[in-house]
Structures are given as C-alpha cells and as structure tokens.
Amino acid sequence: HILKYTGLFGGVQGLNILIGLVRNKFVALILGPDGMGLVSLFNSTIRLVSDSTNFGIAMSAVRNVSESIESGDEERLHRVIGTVRTWSLLTALLGMFLCMALSSWLSDWTFSWGDHSLHFVLLSPVVALMAITGGETAILKGGRHLGALAVVSVYNMIFALVCSVPLFYFFGQAGIVPSLFLLALMQCVLTIAYSYKLYRPSFSFSKQYFKEGGDMVRLGTAFVLAGIFGSGAEFILRSYLNNVAELNVVGLYNAGFVLTMTYAGMVFSSMEADYFPRLSGVGELGEELNRMVSRQIEVSLLIISPMLMLFMVVLPVMLPLLFSREFLPMMGMMRFATLAMFFRSINMPMEYIALSRGDSRSYLLLEAAYYMMFLLMAILGWQWGGLTGTGVALLACTVANFMMVLTYVRWRYGYWLSKEVLIYALIQISLAIMTCCFTFMLTGVGYWLSGGLMILASLLVSVRILRSKTHLWSSLKNKVYQRFHKE
C-alpha cells in the first residue's frame, strides 16, 4: 500500500517537477536571480500571514474528517465538513483583512528599499484563497480521495506554466503580484470543484458548529504557532540575507532550497496525503502504530536514497540546464542540503505520530526547537561559509533534530526504530556521505565514475529489499501475463 501511493504521488510530483523545470528555466532567464529573490520574499511573507491566521485547520481538520469516516457516521461526517468549511471562510476573511492592515509594516520588515505596501494590499486576497484551499484540501485528504488531490496538483502546475511565464515575459517584475494571485485563485477553484463534487456544499454559523470548530481550532493552535515558527524563520533568514548581502543571494538561496525540497518531495508528498490519515485512523499506541511508522520509513528511505544520490551527482549539469550559469554558486549548499534529506526521510514519519495523536503540545515543542536551531545555524553558517555554509548548517540542524525527535518519540509514544530501518539507514546514509565527499574531491572522469558506482550500489540495495518485501517482481510479472493473456 505504501509503495503504491508513494509511486502515485511520486509520479505526480515527478510530472510536476518536469513542468516546474520548464517554468523555472523561463523565469530564471526572464527575471534572473533578482526577480526570483523578489518572488521568494513575497511568497515567504504571504505564507507567514497565512500560517498566522488559518488556525491550523488545514492539518487539524484532516484528523477530524478521517476519524468521522472511520466511525461510519454519515451525519457526523457532514457536520464535520460543514464545520471545516465555515471556519475556513472565517479564517480567510481574517487573514485578508490583517494582511491589508499590516501592509506598511510588512513592507518595512521585508524590504530595505522602496515602499511595497500596495503590493501586500493586492496580495491580501491570496491569503484568503490559501485558507479556503487549505480547508478543502484537508477534506479531500481526510476522505482519502488521493486521486483528486493528484489531479488538482497536476492542473495547478500546468496553469502555473502557461500563466506566469507570459506575465513575466511581458511585464517583468511587475507581473509577479498578478501571477501569485492568479495561481492561488486557480488552485482554490480546482480544489473546491473536486471537493464540492464529492461532498455537497454546507456552511453554518450555528452555536453547535462554532463549538465543534472551537475544539478543532484549539487543536490547530499548535499548528498555527508551528507555522509561525517555520514561516517566521524563513522570513527572518531571507530578510537577513537581503540586508547583509544582495537580492540575488536571496534568489540563489531560495532556488537551491526549493529545488532540493521539490525533488525530495517526490517521496515526501505521499506522507501528508496518505500516511497521515491512515496513522490517524489507528486507535491506540502500540505494535500496530509502530509497525506502520517503521514501514513508512523503510519505503521512504529505500526509494529516496538512489534519487538523492543521482541528484547530488548531476548538479553541475542540472543547474545551468534548469536555470543558468549564474546559479552555480548554490551547488555546494545544495549538496549538503541533499544529504540532510536522508535524515529527513527518517524523521518525517516519526514527527507525524504527534499529529496523529492530536498531541499539539509535543508537535509544537519539536517544531519550535527545530526552527530556532535552523535560524541560528543558518545565520552562523552564512557568516562562516556563505551559501555553502548555510547548506552545512541545514545538515547539522537536521541531524540534531533527528536525534531529538527519536529520543522524544521513544519516551512519549514508546516508538523505536526497527532493526531493519537501522540497517537500511546505515547502508544508504554511508553511501550518501561517500558520494558527497566524492563530489567535492574529484573532477572529470573520476567524478562521474565514482558517482555512478555509488548510485548503482544504492539502487541495487533498494531494489533488492523492496523486491523481497513487497513481491514487486512477481506482481509485475502477473499483471503483464494477465494483460497478454487477455489480448
């Protein structure tokens, strides 16, 4: 099951990456690092406002919808969905008006030059659209409508390509704000269309809905605070880089960070859509929950390892191809950030335990500690080694967070990494560290030969284990035989 839906969302994410590569290439050529830095600053600021005002409904609602479906009570499900939609609308209005009211302050904090207050006023509807989209997406996730989520994701990327590139081409940086609005609008419309088709529209402002929504909001308060920590850390770091360096440095950092996370997202994308609702459906702590977490880690680690090594090795070719040679200075940062994703693939399934239990305090504690470490280490890393130093800082922070989460979930939930996970992690992370070292030490034929050998070794390990544990090869042969037999 895990392999199936990781493949589904990995395939969708792969298609999104291909479309995004074409879009990023055009945007990089048209706007350059400065323009991409401007997009990054607007996005991070809007995300901060959104995370501060949406009351965590996009996450807390998934658990509520999933539980109501597990109960089999149709009336309860309809009531929960109506509550989610009502509160999403209220938070949308709150976020939009707050963004308008704070536009001048946001401009002063984000930029050290010019007055961008009007830009944030024009972007305020984006905050509202994000809140509504978040609520409807939570309904689709909790209802396990994974196909609809996949289709919406693909359509969004296609629209982003055909909409933003012409705007940037004809209007340059002046097209950034209209582009962000149109993308948010399209995503919202598509998500609503699929959600309303599955669950009829329902809103209510009765006391019962407000009471149930209040319980959801209390659970989501931790998500809000965690979102503020995350968006705030990114916001402060980008503003810091914008003030101590130049705007193009913000563009380089953002492009490297987003590209690394997007590539790893081919595997991570299935966790929130499939793994989190399934984990929320497990009633109690114990063997069943522990087994589910360990299996998710196994599949994630085995699938992502050869992909990340390939990504690390081909960076000298990929960056000029995807962007331009102006973006080569971020290569060192990306190698260390890629290495951090190995630990992230183990960490994420463990972090979802707190979310699935509704343990908002534990989730908030872990997230706050991570982002405080991230911000401090990233600033120190920049001062020590520039962009490459920020990559080293991200790796160090991710490893420290992995140790902290592992210790906490052992104490709080009785979970510990299985013997298989420990063995697979030791093999794959050792290969990844050697690959990273080779990319810094070698050049020419030695670089490509050693990198290729490491990728092949990782791929063979993953395929052999997945084949033995999922009977993958037998399943594929049976499907081919059945189809051939029918024809």
pLDDT tens digits along 136-175: 888 888 777 777 877 887 788 788 778 878 887 888 778 8
What is the model's pLDDT at position 187?
Answer: 86
How many other C-beta atoms can be found within 10 angstroms of the C-beta atom of residue 147?
12
Measure the CA–CA gap between 422 and 15, rounded to whole angstroms.
32
Measure the CA–CA gap between 82 and 97, rounded to whole angstroms.
23
Whether 302 contacts 426, CB under 8 Å: no
Q: What is the mean pLDDT of residues 387-401?
A: 91
* Amino acid code (one letter) for 8: L
What is the model's pLDDT at position 9?
Answer: 61
Whether 283 contacts 66, CB under 8 Å: no
What is the model's pLDDT at position 477?
Answer: 59
Instruction: Extract the tokens encoding 207.
Output: 């006391």
Q: What is the mean pLDDT of residues 77-87?
A: 84
What is the model's pLDDT at position 209?
Answer: 63
Tens digit of each residue's pLDDT (9 = 90 or more) over 462-480 = 888 888 777 655 665 565 5
What is the model's pLDDT at position 428?
Answer: 93
Q: What is the mean pLDDT of residues 209-218?
A: 67
What is the model's pLDDT at position 478?
Answer: 63
Q: What is the mean pLDDT of residues 287-291?
A: 86
Q: How far is CA 191 from CA 11, 136, 179, 198, 403, in A?
A: 20, 6, 18, 11, 37
Alpha helices in 199-246 (DSSP H): 207-244
Q: What is the mean pLDDT of residues 29-43?
A: 75
Q: Please list, in sequence order, all residues whose beta carbon lies within 8 angstroms of the beta carbon of residue 102, skipping any fewer than 6 positions away.
A: 49, 120
Q: What is the mean pLDDT of residues 314-328?
A: 80
Residue 7 pLDDT more than 70?
no
Instruction: Extract the tokens encoding 31.
Output: 């706007």
Q: What is the mean pLDDT of residues 83-109?
A: 87
Least confident segment among 58-62, 288-292, 308-312, 402-406: 58-62
The more confident residue out of 83 and 1 is 83
Residue 447 pLDDT more than 70?
yes
pLDDT tier for residue 435 given thresholds of 50, 70 and 90: very high
What does the angle CA 474 – CA 477 – CA 479 come to, to the nearest 5 degrees?
110
Instruction: Extract the tokens encoding 258.
Output: 């987003």
What is the model's pLDDT at position 396?
Answer: 93
Residue 282 pLDDT more than 90?
no
Q: What is the mean pLDDT of residues 435-455?
A: 91
What is the model's pLDDT at position 451?
Answer: 92
Overall pTM surpassing 0.95 (yes/no): no
Residue 106 pLDDT more than 90?
no
Residue 65 pLDDT more than 70?
yes
pLDDT tier for residue 24 given thresholds of 50, 70 and 90: low
Mean pLDDT taken over the chain: 81
* Percent over 90 (pLDDT), the chain: 18
* Percent over 70 (pLDDT), the chain: 85
* Amino acid code (one letter) for 464: R
pLDDT tier for residue 195 given thresholds of 50, 70 and 90: confident
Q: What is the mean pLDDT of residues 216-233?
A: 74
pLDDT tier for residue 268 given thresholds of 50, 70 and 90: confident
Helix, strand, coil percentages for the chain (3-state, nearest 5):
90, 0, 10
Residue 338 pLDDT more than 70?
yes
Measure the CA–CA gap between 482 and 425, rounded to whole angstroms.
37
What is the model's pLDDT at position 149?
Answer: 78
